């Protein structure tokens, strides 16, 4: 007799529960692509140490004394703006982004709270972003604009205006060539090195800036690929000498 294998039959699986498709879809809210906002990467925000920036500069000691007394004279405020803008241009070029300028303006009032404005966020006197048809304003922004204009003037000292396009070739050479410098290369290098470390006496600074102007313009033309920050490292008095 054949042995039989007893198989226990499992109960039939229950039939699938049929959902009311219309009811289920009415409870689902579709998210459109415009509503599905992505978290953008965190923007780079430099941590400016205003006190350290001032300490590195030549006039910084007097400015910090002024700030320590809870007062900032107009003259020292102008020098402070020059120093901070030089730092901005060295690190980020002559057109730093708005976030960078806000970070520096905010760092100023956080380091020296008595400089904070009573209205707004408190740093608007130092930098106010542009909005709509209104351009950005503030001491940092105005100095940046002046520096861009000054650097461009240095670069374009020998550029020909559009009205000169019809002049003869001989005159064209006269327009494009620099005048001969009145100082030797050795004197030029000595004056440039002195100017890197001195902001006064102002009469001597202006004298050396004037005497080195031709060779400085030639140097800038030969190094036209350099950034504004690199130019200011070699010729820092361009940013803080009145009339230059």
**Together in a domain, 122 and 76:** yes
- Residue 9 three-state SS: coil
- Residue 33 three-state SS: coil
- The number of distinct structural domains making up the chain is 2
- Name all contacts of 236-239 with Cβ < 8 Å and 24+ positions apart: 236/86, 236/195, 236/196, 237/195, 237/199, 237/205, 237/209, 238/147, 238/150, 238/151, 238/154, 239/82, 239/85, 239/86, 239/89, 239/147, 239/150
106: how many CB neighbours lie within 10 A of its CB?
A: 18
Structure confidence at residue 222 (pLDDT): 85
Q: What is the DSSP letter of 113?
A: G
Place of tokens 């004298």: 207
**Together in a domain, 86 and 138:** yes
**Together in a domain, 62 and 141:** yes
**Together in a domain, 130 and 65:** yes
Please check whether residue 30 lies inside any domain of the structure.
no
* 166 pLDDT higher than 70: no
**Together in a domain, 125 and 70:** yes
Residue 28 contacts residue 169 (beta carbons within 8 Å):
no
Please check whether residue 213 lies inside any domain of the structure.
yes
**Together in a domain, 138 and 89:** yes
Phi–psi pair at 13, nearest 5 degrees: -65, 145
Distances (CA, A) of 143 to 86, 89, 109, 131, 169: 10, 11, 18, 19, 39
Structure confidence at residue 36 (pLDDT): 37
Structure confidence at residue 142 (pLDDT): 94
Chosen domain end from 136, 154, 172 = 154
**Together in a domain, 59 and 114:** yes
CA 169 to chain centre: 41
**Together in a domain, 140 and 205:** no
Least confident of 89-98, 120-129, 147-156: 147-156
pLDDT bracket for residue 155 (50, 70, 90)? low
**Together in a domain, 59 and 148:** yes
Please check whether residue 64 lies inside any domain of the structure.
yes
**Together in a domain, 63 and 135:** yes
Please check whether residue 96 lies inside any domain of the structure.
yes
pLDDT digits (tens, 9 = 90+) for 217-238: 888 888 878 877 788 888 888 8
Cα within 13 Å of Cα(36), Cβ side: 5
Residue-number span of the structural domain to which 195 is assigned: 185-234
The token pair at 4 is 């039989």
**Together in a domain, 145 and 93:** yes
pLDDT digits (tens, 9 = 90+) for 38-66: 333 345 567 899 999 999 887 888 999 99
Percentage of the chain modeled with pLDDT above 90: 30
Q: What is the mean pLDDT of residues 160-188?
A: 59
Please check whether residue 106 lies inside any domain of the structure.
yes
Please check whether residue 191 lies inside any domain of the structure.
yes
Please check whether residue 103 lies inside any domain of the structure.
yes
Chosen domain end from 131, 154, 177 = 154
* 158 pLDDT higher than 50: no
Please check whether residue 34 lies inside any domain of the structure.
no
**Together in a domain, 64 and 123:** yes
Measured at the CA of 208, the angle between CA 206 and CA 210, to 5 degrees, comes to 65
Mean pLDDT (the chain, rounded): 76
């Amino acid at each position: 007799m054949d042995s039989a294998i007893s198989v226990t039959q499992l109960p039939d699986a229950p039939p699938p529960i049929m959902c009311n498709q219309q009811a289920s879809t009415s409870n689902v809210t579709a998210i459109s692509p415009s509503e599905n906002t992505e978290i953008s990467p965190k923007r780079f925000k430099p941590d400016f140490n205003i006190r350290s920036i001032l300490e590195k500069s030549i006039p910084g000691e007097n400015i910090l004394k002024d700030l320590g007394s809870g007062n900032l004279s107009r003259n020292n405020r102008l020098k402070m703006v020059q120093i901070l803008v030089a730092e901005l241009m060295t690190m980020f070029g002559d057109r730093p982004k708005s976030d960078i300028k806000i970070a520096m303006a905010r760092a100023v009032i956080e380091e020296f709270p008595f400089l904070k404005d009573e209205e707004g966020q408190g740093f608007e006197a130092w930098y106010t972003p542009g909005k709509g048809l209104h351009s950005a304003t503030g001491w940092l922004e105005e100095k940046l604009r002046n520096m861009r204009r000054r650097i461009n003037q240095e670069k374009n000292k020998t550029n020909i205006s559009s009205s000169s396009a019809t002049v003869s070739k001989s005159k064209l050479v006269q327009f494009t060539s620099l005048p001969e410098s009145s100082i030797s290369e050795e004197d030029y290098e000595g004056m440039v090195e002195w100017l890197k470390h001195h902001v006064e006496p102002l009469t001597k600074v202006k004298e050396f800036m004037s005497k080195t102007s031709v060779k400085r313009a030639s140097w800038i033309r030969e190094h036209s690929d350099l950034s504004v920050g690199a130019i200011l490292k070699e010729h820092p008095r361009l940013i803080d000498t009145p009339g230059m």
